[in-house]
Structure 1
Amino acid sequence: MTDTHFYDPRQGHGLPHDPFKAIVAPRPIGWITTVDKLGRVNLAPYSFFNALSGRPPIVAYSSESYKDSVRNVEETGEFVCSFVTRELAEAMNETCRGVPHGVNEMELADLDAAPSTSVKPPRVAAAPAALECKVLQILRMKDLEGKQLESHVVIGQVTGVHMRREFLKDGIFDTAAARPIARCGYRGDYAEVTSLFEMIRPAD
């Protein structure tokens, strides 16, 4: 039998650092733009992010505390997800800063904003792709004992998609050429996608 290190997260992992985020990796980064009811822009990256459905396209991000990216969508019901590349990694890291409500992280990171089409929050102009979304649900999570957690999950349906034409090759979005990065756990571990391999799903 394979030798494993087992632990119950409720009792502690017994390791120097919590391995959970390193195990569930790589995780795509949702670079979420929202605006509050006064129209002030907020931009923040979330690695608890992913696609939930293809038809219709639905994505979700989770905040481990009640931050502006949750407060703003409660007020407006809209957000945009711009995708982070290796080229944009340092700017993304700058938008992690904890700043007062109403401060525009896009400006702090010296990023140009581009207007959206179906929602009010802008997108990051330099991003290879961006998804405009309208909120379907905002869920406050509970644990096994029914205790409410500080984590909030925002689920949104995609109402508009932007792709930079330079990354469209023969009608296909060239993921490797865009060089997206993903979160891999611990303090500052990231991965960069530079190559793909193809494996066709077996016929039923």
Structure 2
Amino acid sequence: MFYEPKSGHGLPHDPFKAIVAPRPIGWISTRRPDGRFNLAPYSFFNAFSSNPYLVWFSSEGEKDSASIARQTGEFAVNLVSLSLAGKMNETAIDAPPDVSEFDLAGLTPAPCRNIACPRVAEAAATLECKVTEVLEPRDLQGRHAGVFVVTGEVVGVHVDDSMLVDGLFDVTRAQNLARLGYMDYAAVTETFSMRRPRWKDR
């Protein structure tokens, strides 16, 4: 089949997010200017540079995480493991501003080193980030798409030592969770390796 998004897909459910998958989940923790904690998962998340470490998450509508990160200039990205899937899902709720998702999901806020917002103590890894810019993408007609892309430079990395095997972060031990389409998720339970080819070796 072929379809143009503007004309609709004709399927029972939109396949777009199932096609662009798996997507890592950015479990974003922030601290409001008044000190209250916020925690929410974003499946439009990724890293896009390793020198310096740069990550971004995208909010469809300026939701709390994007708004707070813009105001404070900080956010943390907590790794979601399979064991934390249920708690992550609890934090996706549209809770009122006076409710901390940490409390709601029974998670432990732990202090970060270089930023003021908390991290999830139970997470296998956390990236401490300082906001570098907030982008507001536009569509082909030049209209603002209602999307806010928060980019941040990683200024600190927390890693649970039990996830390190021979000096490598073991994703099968952490069982990184990924978002698929519809209501579906996947966890990394096995991997395989390939080396990038070099022209001189041909």
Q: Distance in 2 between matches of 1:11 and 1:174?
A: 44
Shift of 1:37: 1.1
Whether the 8 Å CA contact 1:43–1:105 is kept in 2: the answer is: yes
The 5 Å alignment of 1:164-183 reads 164-183=160-179
Aligned length, in residue pairs: 199
Q: Distance in 1 between matches of 2:9 and 2:82?
A: 32
TM-score computed with the length of structure 1 as normaliser: 0.96
Tell me the equivalent position of 2:12: 16
Corresponding residue SS for 2:88: helix
- Which amino acid letter does the alignment assign opposite residue 22 of structure 1? A
Q: 1:58 aligns with which of 54, 58, 66?
A: 54
Corresponding residue SS for 2:57: strand
TM-score computed with the length of structure 2 as normaliser: 0.97
Q: Distance in 2 between matches of 1:102 and 1:75?
A: 17
Tell me the equivalent position of 2:189: 194
Aligned-residue Cα RMSD (Å) equals 0.8
Corresponding residue SS for 1:120: coil
Q: Distance in 2 between matches of 1:200 and 1:176?
A: 19
Fraction of identical pairs, as percent:
53
Tell me the equivalent position of 1:40: 36
Ranges in structure 1 where 5+ consecutive residues have no aligned partner: none
Shift of 1:102: 3.3
Once superposed, which parts of structure 1, at least 4 consecutive aligned residues long, lie more than 2 Å away? Answer: none
Q: Distance in 1 between matches of 2:137 and 2:34?
A: 28
The 5 Å alignment of 1:73-92 reads 73-92=69-88
- Which amino acid letter does the alignment assign opposite residue 63 of structure 2? K
Q: 1:125 aligns with which of 117, 121, 125?
A: 121
Whether the 8 Å CA contact 1:63–1:152 is kept in 2: the answer is: yes
Whether the 8 Å CA contact 1:42–1:102 is kept in 2: the answer is: no
Q: 2:2 aligns with which of 2, 6, 10?
A: 6
Q: Distance in 2 between matches of 1:7 and 1:138?
A: 32
Whether the 8 Å CA contact 1:41–1:102 is kept in 2: the answer is: no
C-alpha distance after superposition, 1:60-114 (max 9, x if no partner) = 0001111111110111000000000110000000001001123210110000111
Q: Distance in 1 between matches of 2:166 and 2:38?
A: 35
Whether the 8 Å CA contact 1:140–1:151 is kept in 2: the answer is: yes
